[in-house]
Amino acid sequence: MPHAPALLVIDMQNALAAISHRATETVAVIAGLRERAKAAGVPVVTIQHQGAELEAGTEGWQIVPELRPSADEAVVHKTSADSFLHTDLDKTLKALGVTEVVVTGFATEICVDTTARQALSHQYDVVLVADGHTTSERPDTGDFASPERSIAHHNEIFRHIDFPGRRIRVVPAAEVDFAAA
């Protein structure tokens, strides 16, 4: 089967960006990837969470302006950390002929991690964009890892996941080559 990537933009919504670590930088990285993907004819799929604190139609629920999908881009609505669970993500990717997902978005240890792992189980190769995902700001004290540690930890974990029959890579945005598709 030919190599066919899609860029996944997970939960880059106003309310979540407002609590994100390095939000401006992460949005800029993803925006650059979106431009490169579109220029190469690679589909962009925006995933939008809906729930108690992200009520559909509210300003907080909206995708950040820099990443708002165009009319020809797929948007998948979800209600859990797993972008595949009870959504049409798998159907959408299959209809587009996708074999590999390039994963970006919020939150590293929840929706990004869960969706990337589920992509492997759905038979997609995975590229985790090392500088294209983020998590919430939080104090360095307490039970949570700092945002920097959480992001670094997940990048390292994905470098070492062994999933038979699937290719997994962790690369910075500058090394994502959509033209190779």
Question: What is the mean predicted confidence (pLDDT) over 120-137?
Answer: 97
Strand order in the sheet with 44-49: 74-78, 44-49, 5-10, 100-106, 125-134, 168-171
Banded model confidence at residue 52, pLDDT cuts 50, 70, 90: confident
What pLDDT, on a 0 to 100 scale, did the predictor assign at position 181? 56
Global confidence as pTM: 0.95
Tokens (6 digits) for 101: 């997902």
Show Cβ contacts of residue 97 under 8 Å, excluding neighbours closer than 6 positions.
Answer: 4
The residue count of the chain comes to 181
What pLDDT, on a 0 to 100 scale, did the predictor assign at position 161? 96
Going by DSSP bridges, is the β-strand pair 100-106/125-134 parallel, antiparallel, or unpaired?
parallel
% of the chain beyond a pLDDT of 90: 89
Question: What is the mean predicted confidence (pLDDT) over 103-114?
Answer: 97
Tokens (6 digits) for 136: 């919430």
Average pLDDT, the chain: 95
* Residue corresponding to tokens 């629920």: 61
Q: Is the pLDDT of residue 1 over 90?
A: no
Q: What is the pLDDT of residues 59-71, one digit of tens each?
A: 999 999 999 999 9
Q: Which of 44-48, 74-78, 138-142 has the lowest mean pLDDT?
A: 138-142
Q: What is the pLDDT of residues 134-168, one digit of tens each?
A: 999 877 767 888 899 999 999 999 999 999 999 99
Q: Write phi, then psi, for 96 (nearest 5 degrees).
A: -85, -5
